[in-house]
Amino acid sequence: MDSTSATVGKTALPNVLDSSEPLVSPFPEGTINFTYTDDDLTAAGLSSANEPDLFIRKFRSSDHRYVKIGGTVNAAANRVEVSGIAENSCFGIGYDKTPPTVILP
C-alpha cells in the first residue's frame, strides 16, 4: 500500500484534481499521513489535550465543504492517519469538539 505524507500548512497531495465529474482514481487504495508540531496545535488554538479529537477531512466539491472521513491519531508521533483512500481530493486535518445540536419538534 502506498502512502502519501503531508505537513500541516502545506499542499496536502500532489496532483490534486477538482472536478464535478466522478473521478476514477489512477492510484491504488492508500493511506494518508498528516504530521504536525506542537507549535501547529498552539497556532490553531489547541493543545496536546485536543489531539485525540483530530481527524482527517476531505473536500466535497458537490457542496464546497470539508467532511470528516476519520482517522487514527498517534499523539506521540504527532500524526493523523487514514487508510482506504482511493480517490483524488483535497485533504486536511480537522478538529471539531462542538456538541451536537438537537432539534425537538
Q: What is the pLDDT of residues 20-55, one digit of tens each?
A: 444 454 556 788 889 999 999 998 888 999 999 999
On the question of pLDDT at 100 being above 70, the answer is no
On the question of pLDDT at 59 being above 60, the answer is yes
Whether 57 is in a domain gets the answer: yes
The span from the CA of 85 to the CA of 30, in Å, is 5
% pLDDT > 90, the chain: 29
The domain of 90 spans 3-95
Whether 78 is in a domain gets the answer: yes
Whether 101 is in a domain gets the answer: no
The span from the CA of 19 to the CA of 67, in Å, is 17
Q: What is the mean pLDDT of residues 78-100?
A: 84
Residue 99: the pLDDT is: 66
Whether 80 is in a domain gets the answer: yes
Mean pLDDT (the chain) is 76
Number of domains in the chain: 1
